[in-house]
Structure 1
Amino acid sequence: MEYRKLGNTDLELSVITHGAFAIGGNMWGGNEKQDSIHSIHASLDHGVTSIDTAPFYGFGLSEEMIGEAIKGKDRSKIQLLTKFGLVWDGSNNGKGEFFFDAEEDGKKIPVYKFASKENIIKEVEESLKRLKTDYIDLLQLHWPDSTTPIGETMEALEILIQQGKIRTAGVSNYSVEQMEEANKTLKLASNQVSYSMLNRAIENDLAPYSLENNSGIIVYSPMERGLLTGKYFKESQLKENDHRNGYFSQFDLHKVKTFLDKIEPIAQEKGATLSQLVLRWTTLQPAITVVLAGARNAQQAIENAKALSFDLSQEELNFINAELAQL
């Protein structure tokens, strides 16, 4: 495993970080509790020291399972990354920005973006309780909230840092303009954004900005929710309530399959899977600090961790990039 410092902070994270969205179950067709906990243990056993979650993942369930999974572990050797700013329990009293309707047990649950100072303080206390810890290594705003001034959100984060409840602060899904506004109040450690072989938009603006300003980039959805594993083309049956049924429709699946077929020989030469090759390529892109990799069981967690067991030559990177240009 490799480890990198996040932006201008002293927080060091494992380059492959355990992404804990899927183990929450909601939107992913459910998951077995023991499989989820075993996935975390397997990650830790194979050098992955960082775990990224959010209150919204499973409506608190993901954080709770992480708290259970790390019980008895050396907390100083584990970095917990969580978020705030998505409210689903009605505690926002109609305030904030409506995001979308989630579903649980067939019921619609309205989710709001809400990043007020009061709400942040409240959410952090709830997260600390679920995670069974007294501090969070990196606290991130989950999505921008247009109804709350960015300065107010940053001031709350600054207070939490001073109180020792969080080590450092970041955001997620922020534009360059929003980063600039936030940094007037608080120097952010990072921005967590969507990035993959099929989605490289941040290379136009956010990546150069982050390099210039020594700000970390944490990548989510590097596998495009499993599409780039290649498994979908062999086992294309997804559960009816799996959100990926609609998500995958945005891509030209024939071109994606052709691309994966062309790069698979590189993975085979490395004794690696397609998933590991895709993850490794992602870790080697400029400005990328950390790559989140989801795992629903121990086997997937181990496979993700081993994506750092090999390297790619410049010639191999050039070949992959040339094939990507054909998509």
Structure 2
Amino acid sequence: MEYRNLGDSEINASVIAFGAWAAGGWMWGSTDRKDAVEAIIASFEHGVTSIDTAPIYGQGTSEEIVGEALKNIPRDQTQILTKFGMRWDLAKGDFAFHSKMNNGDDIEIYKYAGKESVIHECEQSLKRLGTDYIDLYQIHWPDSTTPLDETFEAVVQLIEQGKVRYAGVCNYTSQLMAEAEMTVPLVSNQIPFSMVNRAVEEDAVPYCIKHNKAVLAYSPMERGLLTGKIHPGYEFKEGDHRAKLPHFQPDFINRTNILLERIKPLADDKGVTLGQLVLRWTVDRPGITVALAGARNAKQSVENAKAMDILLTDEEFDFISAVVDAF
């Protein structure tokens, strides 16, 4: 495993982080808690020390699963990255979307980051995680209804109280990052990035490179699309959000699989999976600090961790990048 500091912070994160959205089951067709806990423990045993979660993932379920796993791994050797600002229990702020809980109940999700809400969410996260501090506390999505200084003054307060070590953001533009930094130093921006979704290279990534902010790339395998296991007509479980996404429609799947066919000989040559090759290329891209890789069981999490055993020559990296550019 490789480790990199997040910006100017003392957080030395594993380059592959355990992304715990799918582990929480919400929008992924339920979860098996035992499998999810074992997946986190197995990934830690293979060097993955950073775990990214959020209250909204399973409406607390993902954080509870991470908390359960933390009982079996040393807290001082892990970095817990969680979030705030998406409420399903409070109708306030920007309405985001309708959804269903893991038990099938209908809920409405709001993007809200008022000061009291941020503090309340932190207290709830600490309880679910079973810890007394969070290494990186990230706003999940921008909230247009709350002034940025109000939101980040709450985070500053949490840092002063020792409940949070560092502040980060998710899904922020360079302009929003600059505004937020007028209140609190940021160490990272968590943004979507994959071979087939590189829009952030236009704005957010260059800003982070220039200002020494870490980029945490989420969905680097495009929610499983880049594993090569998805084909037109693939049947998703009931409640799996991917079925309706543009990237999972037949035409886009076909185009993606052509890309994967072109790089598969290199994966075969190295004796690795397509997913592993995709992760290795991702963390070698300029500006990308960490890739968040989801897993539903120990086999998947270990496979993700072993992506860092791959060494790409400059020529191999350039070959993959050329194929991706052609896409």
Q: Give me the TM-score of the superposition, normalised by structure 1.
A: 0.96
Seq. identity, %:
53
| Map 1:1-327 → 2, pairs under 5 A | 1-90=1-90, 94-104=91-101, 105-233=103-231, 236-247=234-245, 248-249=248-249, 252-327=252-327
- Are the counterparts in 1 of residues 232 and 254 from structure 2 also a CA contact under 8 Å? no
Which is worse superposed, 72-81 or 274-283?
A: 72-81
Counterparts of 2:164 and 2:284, CA distance in 1: 29
Counterparts of 1:62 and 1:307, CA distance in 2: 24
Q: Per-residue deviation at 1:107?
A: 3.2
Counterparts of 1:213 and 1:112, CA distance in 2: 30
Q: Per-residue deviation at 1:235?
A: 8.6
Counterparts of 1:13 and 1:251, CA distance in 2: 37
Which is worse superposed, 12-21 or 73-82?
A: 73-82
Letter matched to residue 121 of structure 2: E
The 4+ residue runs of structure 1 with deviation greater than 6 A are none
Partner SS state of residue 98, structure 1: strand
Distance of aligned partners of 1:300 and 1:234 in 2 relative to their CA distance in 1, 3 Å threshold: farther
The one-character-per-residue Cα deviations of 1:173-204 (angstroms, maximum 9, x if unpaired) are 00111001001111101000000000111111
Counterparts of 1:87 and 1:135, CA distance in 2: 21
Letter matched to residue 166 of structure 1: V
Q: Per-residue deviation at 1:326?
A: 2.1
Counterparts of 1:208 and 1:26, CA distance in 2: 32
Counterparts of 2:28 and 2:194, CA distance in 1: 19
Partner SS state of residue 185, structure 1: coil
Letter matched to residue 267 of structure 2: A
Distance of aligned partners of 1:211 and 1:277 in 2 relative to their CA distance in 1, 3 Å threshold: same
Letter matched to residue 223 of structure 1: M
Counterparts of 1:251 and 1:125, CA distance in 2: 45
Q: Give me the TM-score of the superposition, normalised by structure 2.
A: 0.96
Counterparts of 2:147 and 2:185, CA distance in 1: 16
Counterparts of 2:228 and 2:42, CA distance in 1: 23
Letter matched to residue 175 of structure 2: E
Q: Per-residue deviation at 1:236?
A: 2.1
Counterparts of 2:138 and 2:45, CA distance in 1: 26
Letter matched to residue 276 of structure 1: Q
Partner SS state of residue 254, structure 2: helix
Counterparts of 2:9 and 2:286, CA distance in 1: 19
Unaligned runs of 5+ in 2: none
Letter matched to residue 112 of structure 2: F
Letter matched to residue 215 of structure 1: K
Letter matched to residue 98 of structure 2: D
Counterparts of 2:251 and 2:112, CA distance in 1: 31
The one-character-per-residue Cα deviations of 1:1-40 (angstroms, maximum 9, x if unpaired) are 0000001111110000000000111100112111111101
Letter matched to residue 89 of structure 2: D
Partner SS state of residue 293, structure 2: strand
